[in-house]
C-alpha cells in the first residue's frame, strides 16, 4: 500500500470590476476563452506494473465558496504596439451563455 498526502497552500483572489480572478500558487487554470478561469489542482502518480490496481481517493477537507463571480479566461491577442516586437496581451472575453447557465462547471469529473 502506498499513501500520500496533498496539501494545497490556499487560493488567492484579485478583484477586477465585478469579477474575482482566482489562482492557486504553482497550479494552472482552465483556459477556455470566455468561460470561468477556474484553478486546476492535479498530480501525477506513478503506478508500478502489477496484476491489479485499486485506487482510492479520500477527500479529507474541503471549503465551499459561494457568491463569487469568477473572471472569464481572456483571449490572448497579438500586441504590435511595441516597435514591431510581437507580444501577447489579454483581451477580456465573456461567454454570456456559460455564465447564465445554472449547471456545474466544467461538469462532474467523477
pLDDT tens string 23-48: 998 889 999 999 999 998 888 877 77
Nearest alpha-carbon partner for 23 in 45, 34, 8, 4: 8
Is 45 among the domain residues? yes
- Residue closest to 95 by CA, chosen among 79, 78, 71: 71
- Computed over every residue of the chain, the mean pLDDT equals 84
User: What is this structure's pTM?
Assistant: 0.74
108 domain residue, yes or no: no
Number of domains in the chain: 1
In-domain check, residue 6: no
In a domain, 46, yes or no: yes
38 lies in some domain: yes
Closest by CA to 56, choosing from 109, 108, 4, is 4
Q: Which of the residues in the chain have pLDDT under 70?
A: 1-2, 83-84, 108-110
41 lies in a domain? yes
Eight-class DSSP state of 18? T
Q: Is residue 31 part of a domain?
A: yes
Q: What pLDDT is attached to residue 110?
A: 45
Amino acid at each position: 500500500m502506498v499513501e500520500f498526502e496533498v496539501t494545497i497552500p490556499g487560493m488567492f483572489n484579485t478583484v477586477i470590476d465585478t469579477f474575482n480572478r482566482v489562482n492557486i500558487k504553482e497550479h494552472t487554470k482552465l483556459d477556455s476563452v470566455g468561460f470561468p478561469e477556474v484553478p486546476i489542482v492535479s498530480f501525477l502518480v506513478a503506478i508500478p506494473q502489477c496484476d491489479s490496481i485499486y485506487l482510492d481517493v479520500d477527500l479529507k477537507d474541503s471549503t465551499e465558496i459561494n457568491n463569487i463571480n469568477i473572471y472569464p479566461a481572456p483571449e490572448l491577442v497579438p500586441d504590435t504596439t511595441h516597435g514591431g516586437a510581437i507580444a501577447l496581451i489579454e483581451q477580456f472575453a465573456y461567454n454570456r451563455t456559460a455564465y447564465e447557465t445554472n449547471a456545474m462547471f466544467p461538469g462532474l469529473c467523477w
